[in-house]
Amino acid sequence: MLTEVKKAVWRESTKAFKSTAATGFSLELEAITTAHEQAGTTSSNGIREHALGSDRDDETIVIDESHLDFPEGGSLAYLTVFGSFMGLIPAFGMINSVGAIEAYVSNHQLRDVSTSTVSWIFSIYTFIAFSSCIFSGTFFDRSGAFKPMLIGSITFCGGMLATANCTRVYQFILAFGVLVGFGTGMLMSPLVGAVSHFFYKKRATATSIATTGGFLGGIIMPLMLRKMYGTVGFIWALRALTLFCACCLVLALIFTKERLHREDNSKIDSWKGFFKVYFVDAFDYKSLSELKFMSCAIGVAFAEGSLVVVLIYLPSYAIMQGNSEQTSFLLIIVSNTCAILGRYIPGIAADRLGRFNVVILTVSMCALISLVLWLPFGKSLKVLYAFSGLYGFFSGSILSLSPVCCGQISRTEEFGKRYSTMYLISSFTMLTLIPIAGTVIGEGAQRNYNNFIGFSVALLGLAIMSYIVCRHACVGWRLCKF
């Protein structure tokens, strides 16, 4: 009887949780932005998403999940949140800390290599981390949390240990770019998707707590590296960091459990079937011809691309200005700390004023403080600290509002595919933008970095225009909540 009940629960749940390749990852990002029940206007009767492209911004689609039996708590649920929190410390923390590694290797192991060449290491890492989470999402849907997490943990830690001994560019690309990147992507979806199995009404709060681990990792990792680079050197610093990450991932493997099990988990017997499940069925190819979707996707790609290149090269900029490596790492810590607030406060404003309205404002603020603070006064360390804090706050809100903007122009049952498609576009964009930024920096002179700042602002400008195009396609030029 219990087995039949579980099967019935799963059959109903699959109607709400589409088994797309990005299920876990999209749920993670969606839930961050819906902290305190803000982003998706979740209610006890279902999930409501607004403005699907008509001139009526009050159009809604309701998917009723209230009939499903979610525990909304209990020891297993809270232990899963804890396990997800611990696992996301290394997974998301590494994404937020790549600048601490780039700054060191650029001035030591790869000091004779051009910035544009070094940038490919982190470009490939970012691309693989974001794109492989699409594969891990489907893997999680079909096999549960443990298998993809185990593969991700082994690959992540193995890549970190290999990175510690790298001395040449191709070695860093294979170890950090490919192995650590793939491990990161494999960890993302199951770590977050498992939390959603236990919560419906409290899903936003639970997932937000879990994903805060990524920001904690973005604070702890640069602090560890800042201290150990000067005491034990790069090799043992990364080995110690790997041990810390391994401990976090072991706890994640122990405590992170999925609750719902797929009834029909047929084996894939051919490469054709594999390709269909993980590539064809995972994306919404029809959305590529839709103006609303493509303008939103381009806006997200340019906005997040600008944020990534700034976080990667900000420490190198500080070193160029005569500051120590230890000081440059503090800028990342300040940015990640302020980004925690940036995830929540603008989300409240977005629910009251409109998501696209607020994201256009926050992207504009990032561009403004870059032009007003960073470009003219970047030589001052105090100004760099102020810039890092403000930039972290507004960039955190941009990252959190991206899935909400996608959800606002998507029907709920289409959200998973459309969001995975949007992030695939974003991952390809980052693959090219990071090397371009490295080429702009070139030899690392002041003039080159000024051009780099202009490049990052130009990307933000393109993002603003894309968001405006999307807004206009949905509601025209009307001043309204959207």
CA-wise closest residue to 58 among 338, 354, 326, 329:
354
Q: Which domain holds residue 123?
A: 75-259+283-475
Percent of all residues in the chain with a pLDDT value above 70, rounded to a whole number: 79
Residue 3 has what pLDDT? 46
Q: What are the helix (H) ranges across 232-324?
A: 233-255, 271-275, 291-320
pTM of the model: 0.76
On whether residue 416 sits in a domain, the answer given is yes
Whether the per-residue pLDDT at 285 is higher than 50: the answer is yes
In a domain, 66, yes or no: no
Based on the structure, what is the number of domains in the chain? 1
Average pLDDT for 16-22: 37
Domain assignment of residue 112, yes or no: yes
Let me know if residue 371 belongs to a domain: yes
Residue 168 resides in a domain: yes
pLDDT tens by residue, 31-55: 333 433 433 433 333 333 344 444 3
CA dist., res. 256 & res. 323, Å (int): 42
Q: What's the Cα-to-Cα distance from 38 to each of 7, 108, 344, 417, rounded to whole Å? A: 32, 45, 9, 22
Q: What is the pLDDT of residues 440-471, one digit of tens each?
A: 998 889 999 999 999 999 999 999 999 999 99
Note the pLDDT of residue 415.
63
pLDDT category of residue 153 using cuts at 50, 70 and 90: very high
Mean pLDDT rounded to a whole number for the chain: 80
The residue among 339, 300, 325 whose CA lies nearest residue 218 is 339
In a domain, 266, yes or no: no
Lowest-confidence segment of 186-190, 199-203, 461-465, 468-472 by average pLDDT: 199-203
Any domain includes 449? yes
The residue among 231 and 407 whose pLDDT is bigger is 231
Mean pLDDT of 380-408: 86
CATH code, 199:
1.20.1250.20
Helix (H) or strand (E) holding 46: strand 46-50
Does residue 47 sit within a domain?
Answer: no
For the ranges 100-104, 162-166, 180-184, 338-342, the lowest mean pLDDT is seen at 338-342
Please report, for residues 43, 115, 142, 452, 468, the alpha-carbon distance to residue 370 in angstroms, rounded to integers and kept in the order given: 39, 21, 44, 11, 21
